[in-house]
């Protein structure tokens, strides 16, 4: 079903020239890139991939963050204060992708610095970006807004945000077992809504 959604998105991005392509070819043009420390965002990324296809890529850093929770909180706060963009080990050739799902946890109510590194280090102009987020109970904060600010030349669709773990309280991976089904339903609703928002479907 969501292949149709993606086709509609491609039409809305002015990519009609690809309309004759087989549906399978769409897979080649969808990227799902995500940052995940305790695998909640990864779980959502995998759910999205099941529903729309595409390539799945985890963002890794040249210098990984500390394991210790208070140490990472301190380091991220400092990076936010100084505007430091941590170098990424992961490099992706974005040329062939038209649609990029961007996944990340909320960190300090902001977009995690590695995501800023990714957005800063790649040319995303003309691409359709679809953000998704997991958080520890306080929501997405300023993450979606920051993506809009950093990518003025991209089309940014409505983001998805859902509660994941709470490392502070010792809850690491929360999107597992039965909760995967619950989250998959929410993801399905969101993807369906994106199609509804397509200009062709607007009254
Ligand atoms: C450094 C750090 C800062 C965090 N800050 C917040 C926050 O401000 N608000 C919130 O709701 N959750 C916060 N969390 C919790 C994560 O957003 C939540 O556990 C998320 O599901 C983790 O995703 P992941 O498993 O993909 O890493 C923080 C976690 C870390 C490690």
Q: What is the CATH number of the domain that holds 21?
A: 3.40.50.360
Residue 21 has pLDDT above 70, yes or no: no
161 has which bridge partners? 133
Looking at the chain, which runs of residues are DSSP E strands?
A: 30-34, 55-58, 99-105, 128-135, 155-156, 160-163
Query: Which pLDDT belongs to residue 3?
Result: 63
Query: Which pLDDT belongs to residue 194?
Result: 86
Pocket around ligand 1: residues whose beta carbon is below 6 Å from it? 36-42, 72-73, 76, 105-109, 134-138, 164-167
Ligand 1 centroid to residue 93 C-alpha, Å: 28
The best mutation among 67, 115, 135 to test binding of ligand 1, ranked by most ligand atoms within 8 Å of the C-beta, falls on 135
Residue 18 has pLDDT above 80, yes or no: no
| Cα→Cα distances 104→1, 10, 111, 155, Å | 25, 24, 8, 18
Q: How many domains does the chain have?
A: 1
pLDDT in tens, 121-133: 999 999 999 999 9
How far is the C-alpha of 171 from the C-alpha of 113, rounded, in Å? Answer: 22
Q: What is the secondary structure of 70-120 as a DSSP string?
A: HHHHHHHHHHHHHT--PPBS-----TT-SEEEEEEE-BTTB--HHHHHHHH
190: confidence class by pLDDT, cuts 50, 70, 90: very high
Domain range enclosing 194: 2-201
Of 11-15, 47-51, 121-125, 150-154, least confident by mean pLDDT is 11-15
Q: Which atom of ligand 1 is nearest to the CA of 164?
A: 21
């Amino acid at each position: 079903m969501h292949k149709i959604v993606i086709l509609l998105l491609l039409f809305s991005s002015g990519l009609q020239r690809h309309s004759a392509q087989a549906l399978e070819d769409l897979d080649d043009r969808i990227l799902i890139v995500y940052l995940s420390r305790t695998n909640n965002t990864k779980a959502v990324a995998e759910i999205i991939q099941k529903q729309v296809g595409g390539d799945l890529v985890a963002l890794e850093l040249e210098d990984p963050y500390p394991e210790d929770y208070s140490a990472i909180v301190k380091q991220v706060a400092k990076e936010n204060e100084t505007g430091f963009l941590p170098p990424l080990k992961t490099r992706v050739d974005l040329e062939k992708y038209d649609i990029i799902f961007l996944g990340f946890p909320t960190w300090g109510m902001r977009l995690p610095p590695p995501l800023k590194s990714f957005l800063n280090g790649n040319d995303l102009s003309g691409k359709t970006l679809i953000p998704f987020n997991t958080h520890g109970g306080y929501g997405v904060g300023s993450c979606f807004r920051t993506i809009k600010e950093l990518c003025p030349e991209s089309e940014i669709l409505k983001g998805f945000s859902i509660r994941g773990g709470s490392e502070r309280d010792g809850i690491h991976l929360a999107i597992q077992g039965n909760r995967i089904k619950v989250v998959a339903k929410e993801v399905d609703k969101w993807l369906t809504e994106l199609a509804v928002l397509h200009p062709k479907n607007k009254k």
